[in-house]
Amino acid sequence: MLIKDYFNEGETVALEIKGLSSRNRTILVSDEDIQHFRSQLVTPDNVNSDVLNRVICMDMLDGTGLVPDASVDLLILDPPYNLDKQFADYKFKSMTNHDYAQWFESWFLPMLRTLKQTATIYVCGDWRSSMAIQSVLEKHVVVRNRITWEREKGRGSLHNWKNASEDIWFATVSDDYFFDPSAVKLKRKVMAPYRNEAGMPKDWTTDEEAGTGYRLTHPSNLWTDLTVPFWSMAENTMHPTQKPEKLIAKLILASSEFGDVVFDPFLGSGTTAVTAKKLGRSFFAIEREEEFAVVALKRLQIAEQQTAIQGYEDGVFWERNTNAERKGAKKTAVPQELE
């Protein structure tokens, strides 16, 4: 079956992919892409002193050596979780909590030198990895909160609860840090539309075009408004554990300012770098597997023209399944539940 390669907008580069629906918007990498983007990577054979806004294709410990001291405002860590998982040519093997904590600490400590005194750190993990992550963070930085993200998608089990949530630990280097909750407000449909004595909406606003009421709510540490990327979303890639741009956008907007520097040493498909670029931040980015590093470069190229972040419009995050209500929202072929 032929599907459209969304890399070139307006230009139909057809790729032969078996078994993918014509509505599948997954960003694919062709042999030509690999040839094209490979030369743009920073590799051990091609080390360049200026690695800001580049993708470093190396082991993260070597790549971290290229990041200057005290240059990073926001560190986003999405390492392999403590699970058996194949990442391109490399398989991460699950280990005891103690060994996972040791492994985490072995690379986390060398990274601390790259952080400013005012920097923030977010670390993603599942319930099992979380125990080790918390113990290491508490030894070296100030742990401030744990966000739980209801990611929904997960494999059901006959013998256990379906694993449908992930944690994002929030920590800072010191007590002097930037945090802007007003940048990450959530726009929710009003369930109980109370009015005051004059008949005016109380703590909510009507959206005339949408014909509905909404409330801008303060961001909490429980996130239910985002899903993992699906095949019908323009940001989707073949990476096995890709994070949604909307999730990374919340971290970046709450904990960095325009022009700040974000560092992701486990870049995967490039989500942090792409979202940082869309939001006017710079980045340091490392991914060991060339296949993923090339996807990241391709997404960065797409982001030069396509700056939208699904679920984030007009400076607010929208709760899921509100596509029809959004002002000026176009009817799309994307089913609501896949937003």
Ligand X SMILES: C[S@@+](CC[C@H](N)C(=O)[O-])C[C@H]1O[C@@H](n2cnc3c(N)ncnc32)[C@H](O)[C@@H]1O
Here's the x/- map for ligand X, 116-145, by CB under 6 A: it reads as ------------------------------
Q: Which of residues 213-242 bind ligand X (CB under 6 A)?
A: 239, 241-242
Nearer to ligand X (CB atom), residue 269 or residue 282: 269
Residue 155: both structure tokens together: 């494999």
Q: Closest approach of Cβ 50 to ligand X, in Å?
A: 20
203 CB-near residues (< 8 Å, 6+ apart): 194, 215
- Could you give the CA distance from residue 144 to residue 245 in angstroms, rounded to a whole number? 23
Q: Which of residues 263-322 bind ligand X (CB under 6 A)?
A: 266, 268-269, 271, 286-289, 292
Give SS3 for 94.
Answer: coil
Q: Which stretch binds ligand X (CB under 6 A): 24-32, 47-55, 261-269, 306-314?
A: 261-269
Nearer to ligand X (CB atom), residue 251 or residue 286: 286
Which residue among 7, 17, 59, 319 contacts ligand X (CB under 6 A)?
A: 59
In the sheet with 72-77, reading across from the earlier edge strand, the strands are: 55-56, 282-286, 261-264, 72-77, 115-125, 165-172, 142-150, 222-223
Q: Closest approach of Cβ 91 to ligand X, in Å?
A: 10
Nearer to ligand X (CB atom), residue 79 or residue 213: 79
- Strands (DSSP E) contained in the chain are 2-5, 13-16, 55-56, 72-77, 85-87, 90-92, 115-125, 142-150, 165-172, 186-189, 205-207, 212-217, 222-223, 261-264, 282-286, 312-313, 316-318
Q: How many residues does the chain have?
A: 339
Q: Which of residues 160-189 bind ligand X (CB under 6 A)?
A: none
Residue 204: both structure tokens together: 């909510």
Residue 268 gets which letter from DSSP? T
Q: Does 111 engage in binding with ligand X (CB under 6 A)?
A: no
Q: Closest approach of Cβ 337 to ligand X, in Å?
A: 21
Q: Closest approach of Cβ 66 to ligand X, in Å?
A: 13
Q: How many CB atoms lie within 10 A of CB 94?
A: 14
Q: Does 243 engage in binding with ligand X (CB under 6 A)?
A: yes
Residues that bind ligand X (CB under 6 A): 59-60, 78-80, 87, 239, 241-243, 266, 268-269, 271, 286-289, 292
